[in-house]
Structure 1
Amino acid sequence: MNLKEHYRKLYNESIHKILSDGYKTDDLIDSKSDRRFGITLLIRPPDKTKDNIQKLLNELKIAEPDQYYYPNSDIHITVMSIISCYDGFDIKKIELPRYIELIKKCLPDNKNLKIQFKGLTASDSCIMLQGFTNNDSLNEIRNNLRAEFKNTTLEQSLDKRYPIQTAHSTIVRFRKHFQKKDLFLKIIDRYVDRDFGSFEVKKLELVYNDWYQRKESVKKLYEFEI
């Protein structure tokens, strides 16, 4: 996959939908009855990179204060949704040590994984950072997970929503209908090629999480060194 082309195509299609009011708002963000939980393997960028992201978000908040903006604590890259969030998931009913041991088998040895957040892309419901890796080790981990989980009876939902192939990070979700859409998109366009920073990935986290990876709902289950 040519990631630059993929991100750009997604951006162009999504901005067109937003301009023509074909975007979607998430009605569950503020719901007190949302009980969707799951477990995720993820990467967290360093504070310096997240602070760069907040400069953009602070500008967007002025234009559209009612949208949902990710705080530093919640910004992440999904390596794999091991069990995608669903209503009724009970972590006490899974054999967590088996998941940890399986994931350990899937991690490459001595791979220097670096990620660069450069530019923005979008969907019809959110704004995302474009993530680029310096080698293929992230996809190697994902392919290893797919192969290993296929041979077990462990509960999992890998690629249930879509086969994940990128290193993007969602930073804005559309919560309300736009009031100053043109200004919002003008800011997005100004940051569309901005370099938000690069970092070396030293560890992966396995977490129990809600749909939005909100800090108050996330529980770290294990940390993997790579």
Structure 2
Amino acid sequence: MSETSEISALRREYVAAGLHRADMQADPLQQFEQWMQSALEAHPDDATSMTLATADAEGWPSARIVLLKRYDSRGFCWFTDFRSEKGQHLAENPKAELLFYWRGLERQVRIRGRVEQLPYADGETYFHQRPRGSQLSAAISSQTEVIDHRSTLEERVEALDSQYADQVIPCPETWGGYCLIPEHFEFWQGRENRLHDRFRYTQVEGQWQIERLQP
């Protein structure tokens, strides 16, 4: 059997309880909060991991895993280097989608919307909440740019650490946060025989409309 055939033969059965319209919260943020709390209880190390999908001005997509650091009625926030590929994409095309996948719960959530850059003060506050090693790494790296060798990065970290040995490391102006303002949610619950439950929230005249989707 070829490797391709072996992959195509892989199967996973979904056994979770169903998702019913009557159980869905009217506000998708409240529904997300319920699912996030379940994910934190089940797998706290991975619960906030999310795929961030962006596209450049020509429509070429790119996706990567980032960590959710805050969410509330304003939106869903993460932090990064503004010069990174995702930062460049968002400067050209400030729209994105987030995907949470909680394998143990057999659940996915997709959240789509426009993205805004957070004020510098927000990034600075979170920057100084991070471990010193993470601050150093963020401060010396021009994320996604080519580098000749890892040792170059390590030397930069050592130099900056020595420079600010007894001081607070300044937050670079090129580092900070983004906030996705949701316009579309989809909640997916895996079900037996691939007859999955899917519910979509869409804003219509300022109100959230809920629709069941075919699997």
> TM tier, shorter chain?
under 0.3
Structure ID, larger Rg = 2
- TM-score by length of structure 2 reads 0.25
- TM-score by length of structure 1 reads 0.24
Name the one with the larger strand percent.
2
